[in-house]
Amino acid sequence: MAKIPKPEQLSKIDLEPKKHWSQFPIDIRPGMYCHGAKAKDLKVLELPNARDWSPAEEDWKLPQDWKQTVLDGIKERLEKYRSFHIFMDVCVRCGACADKCHFFLGSGDSRNMPVVRAEILRSVYRYYFTPGGKIFGKYAGARELTVDVLKEWWYYFFQCTECRRCSLFCPYGIDQAEITMIGRELMNLLGLNIGWITGPAANCYMKGNHLGLEPHTIKSSIEFFLDDIKDITGVKIEPTFNRKGAEILFVTPSGDLFADPGTYTAMGYLMLFHELDLDYTWSTYASEGGNFGFFTSMEMAKRLNSKIYAEAKRLGVKWIIGGECGHMWRVLHQYMDTFNGPADFLEQPVSPITGTKFENAKSTKMVHVIEFTADLIKNGKLKLDPSRNDNLIVTYHDSCNTARGMGFFEEPRYVIKNVCNHFHEMPEDTIREQTFCCGSGSGLNASEDMELRMRGGFPRANAVKHVHDKHGVNMLANICAIDRATLPPLMDYWVPGVRVTGTHELVANALVMKGEKERETNLRAEPLPGKGGE
């Protein structure tokens, strides 16, 4: 694995390019990219050109007719996506997006300006699909598709986390996420995905979740949490799995069943739902809320997403609650109903505790767990003791997808402020709709691209450091499983002393449960404030 430079070195970034982007050589550098997709995963996913390959080697083992495949692929997508077609044509290169991208801010690499990341594809579009590009060639900013260009695409489309921050500032709403998604679809026509995406996607396809947890393992993982919960609270919880006739199906990212601190968030769900005596079930088949298919192609996204409605139908539930996750909610909010709806076999969600009708989910019938909890708190249905979180000085990181793909800002803040006494916002240019990515979204949270991740997460970490220095913030709350996996190393690298938590971990710590014993520790088995140790 490539060695990561020290933070002092990495933060020496020159944001002023010295020559035209097209004159910089492409340097496919270890630490900045992920391993190539494996043959076995590509086969499972029925993707073309399944073979083992390595980006580090000269020969990427492309199929013979790769060029025509890509050009046909572009043509097909121009005809299928108005977004792509318009975004190829109307960019005026005003540069408003240039310094909005976390990868540019963390690397100074011209090609990481969203405009250029689009331009590397747009230049080829011009060459083959516009009269100006055909006639004037390089004078019209057009260029031929070559293997080098293809490698450039691969390198930079996997240096974009589809966070949409550029799209917010673009006067025409040009969304680099959309261009990256289509660019990655083109890559997938040639088998040029990354292993960190196809591995989880293949797992999810066959086993129902990214981590490849088999049904019995899911159950035993959760039972393991239940033991911990019993130790900490004295409350015995008995959730159900694959239960027909439950009112609600609960789907959350599998990452929360696997690694800290996501596991504490999963414990939070279990405790909350138990306390409410909610008639719900987990599923081992639809055991993944996240969707690494979404980082592969729209078709793959749909194939993985289909399990949620299919399982809801099989189990005969009335509606669905989704756990805390970013890109999962982009898919659920903006794609699922279109992909696999209409969900006419479900009912409009109504909270059985408060009677609140979730108007905003009347078509998809899927409610965000944060909405669900915010409604409970608003209606006074939870007994909360926020002082149990008094050792935490919290700030909140908006996930890109819930921010710019949902407009989901106040609900999580409302919940956090009700379960924590110490909350401070990061600077306004770095939160809400202007939030910065964790730097590792869209399937880039591997370990071999750690330098890329630390660079991409630099603006986020920088804002955390600001509130860490100013207010002593020591806990970074979020509502995203990828954040919970990727922010801890980012914090350790840039802002040591700040830890990461899911929002429902905070809720569960503050939640006063019926029949609980006097709690000595929080879910992490650390002493509660005022309970020794301090």
| Closest CB to another protein among residues 52, 79 | 79
Taking Cα atoms as reference points, which of 172, 173, 158, 156 lies closest to residue 113?
A: 156
| Closest CB to another protein among residues 320, 481 | 320
| Closest CB to another protein among residues 62, 181 | 181
Residue 387: CB minimum distance to another protein, A: 25
Work out the number of other CB atoms within 10 angstroms of the CB of residue 144: 12
| Closest CB to another protein among residues 196, 372 | 372
DSSP output for 409-470: -HHHHHHHHHH-S-B-PPPGGGSGGGPPP-S-TTT---STTHHHHHHHTHHHHHHHHHHHHH
| Closest CB to another protein among residues 81, 153 | 81
Give 14-20's long-range contacts (Cβ < 8 A, gap of 24+): 14/108, 15/99, 15/104, 15/105, 15/108, 16/108, 17/108, 17/110
Taking Cα atoms as reference points, which of 480, 488, 481 lies closest to residue 257?
A: 481
Residue 56: CB minimum distance to another protein, A: 28
Strands (DSSP E) contained in 138-182 are none
Rounded to whole angstroms, how far apart are CA atoms 88 and 84? 6
Residue 64: CB minimum distance to another protein, A: 25
DSSP label at 210? T
| Closest CB to another protein among residues 2, 168 | 168
Residue type, 439: G
Element (H, E) at 501: strand 499-502
Residue 278: CB minimum distance to another protein, A: 19
- Paired tokens of 28: 């496919």
In which residue are the tokens 């015995």 written? 236
Residue 133: CB minimum distance to another protein, A: 10
| Closest CB to another protein among residues 364, 440 | 364
| Closest CB to another protein among residues 226, 523 | 226
Contacts of 493 (CB under 8 A, 6+ apart): 4, 7, 454, 461
| Closest CB to another protein among residues 145, 464 | 464
| Closest CB to another protein among residues 435, 509 | 435
Beta bridge partners of 394: 423, 475
Q: Are 429 and 462 in contact (CB under 8 A)?
A: no
Residue 361: CB minimum distance to another protein, A: 5
Cis amide linkage into residue 239, ω under 30° from 0: no
Residue 214: CB minimum distance to another protein, A: 6
Query: What dihedral angle (degrees, nearest 10) is formed by the CA atoms of 253, 256, 259, 261?
Result: 130
Q: Are 486 and 480 in contact (CB under 8 A)?
A: no
Residue 366: CB minimum distance to another protein, A: 7
Q: Are strands 475-478 and 248-251 parallel, antiparallel or unpaired?
A: unpaired
Rounded to whole angstroms, how far apart are CA atoms 372 and 391? 26
| Closest CB to another protein among residues 418, 509 | 418
| Closest CB to another protein among residues 84, 493 | 84
Residue 301 backbone class (left: φ over 0; alpha: ψ -120 to 50; beta: rest): alpha
Rounded to whole angstroms, how far apart are CA atoms 348 and 320? 10
Residue 409: CB minimum distance to another protein, A: 5
Q: What angle do CA 179, 125, 24 make, to 5 degrees?
A: 80
* Cα Rg, the chain, nearest whole Å: 23
